[in-house]
Chains A and B, each alone.
Chain A
């Protein structure tokens, strides 16, 4: 599993990369009340804003961590945004993407480095 400085996690699953936000991020956000997901089939470039998360406190974005195509989104999250607080690392994944260049993942942190990063 890899981690971005934007507090997203990336997990390789077959030929796809699953993306979500970290437990640390979900704690910082507070209770999540609204999620906007991209449409499956959307071509994205790294660092493009692809999801919106609104918590009781504020709005924030999820960025595409890699170039590629969004192939599946976790639609049930839209009706159950609180799942991001309850199960951020597993059930509350945001989208799965087909990366055009998997070597872009090398730029990201491993779990220990991320733990140091969030202190």
Chain B
């Protein structure tokens, strides 16, 4: 393992007293002095600022947005061509087996397509896009910009102080906004289940804008620890845990993210890797499904916890893929895969924790209701 990379906000993290950890090759703040629990609760009560500059920002350019979108549809099962200008959508790269290679956000920037991918996958993603799309589409990794997220019910109030225009953005709008005289790319989206924004800032200007936000009473810095508990309560997948190259989007309960136009009876059906498997899953159903899990007791059920249909005997019917304590939920929360027979909200199953089977209920996701700006 080589030296950890630093984001443009590295010095600010140290100044704020962050505890730093290696994550996907970057030295990132896992928590600030407030601690995971209070950071989590603060984000749901006011606003939290997250450094997510380790994620990959990529511009796909062709002769037009439509040309780039059409090419990109060969890699993802989403409706890219039909996405409106200045709008963003959730998607994922699939493989020939119908598994998920990475999940991502993509936006129509008018003349090009902008994609944000996970840090741990970005090299592979860029290689995949370059191999599949060149030379008609140029794949440009944007390395000079920071990416931050401002999340929580007070995010609008806070960011609107720097530019009132952000208040008019709807959920999943994506636009260029001037903040402190700097051209920033702002989307109304996030990874917490809260309203908020994700903001791409030229690297040299990122610290100044973040300081401006952190000076505001509503805003606290939030580390990767609380980011994980927030997204877990929000029922949002972590790539590598809850979805991976072996999980189909149908098993992962991400069917909603495959628009009708790309499905078997759609106008632009298929044409992405693994379409046959995914259409098969849609038509015939799947053997396992991703579900929310609410342990009855207080003990967290962490990733890897084996799940059983009964308190005694029988083989495992599934496994927890993410789990921990939900500070807002005020109890343990988890998600994982179970057999379709058990994938019904309200079903009581059992998770084996330290050799003991403990009751856990299949729960509707998200466990903490989302608070998006619609």
Instruction: Contacts A56-B36, A59-B300 given; indicate if A34 touches B325 (C-beta within 8 A).
Output: yes
**Number of A-B residue pairs having CB atoms within 8 Å of each other in the complex:** 41
Q: Is the CB of A52 within 8 A of B354?
A: yes
Return the contact of B325 from the options A36, A52, A54, A78 (Cβ within 8 A): A54
> In the assembled complex, which residues on chain B have CB atoms less than 8 Å from the CB atom of A36?
299
A30 at the interface (CB under 8 A from B): yes
Q: Is the CB of B299 within 8 A of A54?
A: yes
A31 at the interface (CB under 8 A from B): yes
Q: Is the CB of A56 within 8 A of B325?
A: yes
> In the assembled complex, which residues on chain A have CB atoms less than 8 Å from the CB atom of B203?
none
Would you list which residues of chain B between 297 and 345 have a CB under 8 Å from chain A? Answer: 298-300, 302, 324-325, 327, 332
B35 at the interface (CB under 8 A from A): yes
A interface size (C-beta, 8 A)? 13
> In the assembled complex, which residues on chain A have CB atoms less than 8 Å from the CB atom of B31?
30
Ranked 4 nearest A-B pairs via Cβ: A31-B37, A33-B325, A56-B36, A34-B298
A24 at the interface (CB under 8 A from B): no
Interface string of B282-306 (1 = CB under 8 A from A): 0000000000000000111010000
Known: A31-B38, A56-B324. 19 other contacts (CB 8 A): A30-B31, A30-B35, A30-B37, A30-B225, A31-B35, A31-B327, A33-B298, A33-B300, A34-B298, A34-B299, A34-B325, A34-B332, A54-B299, A56-B36, A56-B37, A56-B229, A57-B225, A59-B300, A81-B298
When C-beta atoms are compared, the residue in chain B nearest to A33 turns out to be B325
> In the assembled complex, which residues on chain A have CB atoms less than 8 Å from the CB atom of B225?
30, 56-57
Instruction: Contacts A30-B31, A34-B325, A52-B354 given; indicate if A57 touches B36 (C-beta within 8 A).
Output: yes
Return the contact of B300 from the options A54, A78, A82 (Cβ within 8 A): A54
> In the assembled complex, which residues on chain B have CB atoms less than 8 Å from the CB atom of A81?
298
CB distance from B325 to the nearest CB of A (A): 4
Interface string of A50-72 (1 = CB under 8 A from B): 00101011010000000000000
Most chain-A CB neighbours within 10 Å: which of B299, B327, B332? B299
Q: Is the CB of A30 within 8 A of B36?
A: yes
> In the assembled complex, which residues on chain A have CB atoms less than 8 Å from the CB atom of B298?
33-34, 78, 81
When C-beta atoms are compared, the residue in chain B nearest to A54 turns out to be B300
Assembled-state Cα–Cα distance A59/B303 (Å): 12
Q: What are some 26 contacts across the A-B interface (CB < 8 A)?
A: A30-B31, A30-B35, A30-B36, A30-B37, A31-B35, A31-B36, A31-B37, A31-B38, A31-B325, A33-B298, A33-B325, A33-B332, A34-B300, A34-B325, A34-B332, A54-B299, A54-B300, A56-B36, A56-B37, A56-B225, A56-B324, A57-B36, A59-B300, A78-B298, A81-B298, A82-B37
